[in-house]
Amino acid sequence: MPEYALTIEVRTRPAGVTVVALAGELDHHTAPRLHRAVERTAEELPLVLDLTLLGFCDSVGVAELLFAFRRTRAAGTSLALAGTSPDLARLLAMAGVDGLLPSHPTVDAAVGALHRGG
């Protein structure tokens, strides 16, 4: 699988939240790129993973979502997912991690939930 099968855009919103937007496929070939991107984000800021344009995610990708969760938790902040597809929601539920990774329909909804502490 070519490296360009996943694009990652990292931006900090004025509300003090880092948004990492993913587009393409998150799998065993591309997951290390997400890992590195998450490691480079500011630890003290809440993190939103925008999955709106993510077309595929395998178990290695789920492991990277959990890495992001553990990293934010260790830093004393929070993580939220935005734009989770029905297929990914089903995968997260089957893996038993959907309760750890709160999902919201949009980035704005996720940012709002993080600011409300939910």
What are the pLDDT digits (tens) for 26-70?
999 999 999 999 999 999 999 999 999 999 999 999 999 999 999
Domain residue spans in the chain?
3-116
Give CATH for domain 3-116: 3.30.750.24
Which pLDDT band holds residue 100 (cuts at 50, 70, 90)?
very high
**105 near 82, Cβ under 8 Å?**
yes
CA angle at 30 for the pair 20 and 74, rounded to the nearest 5°: 50
**8-25, pLDDT tens digit by residue?**
999 999 889 999 999 999
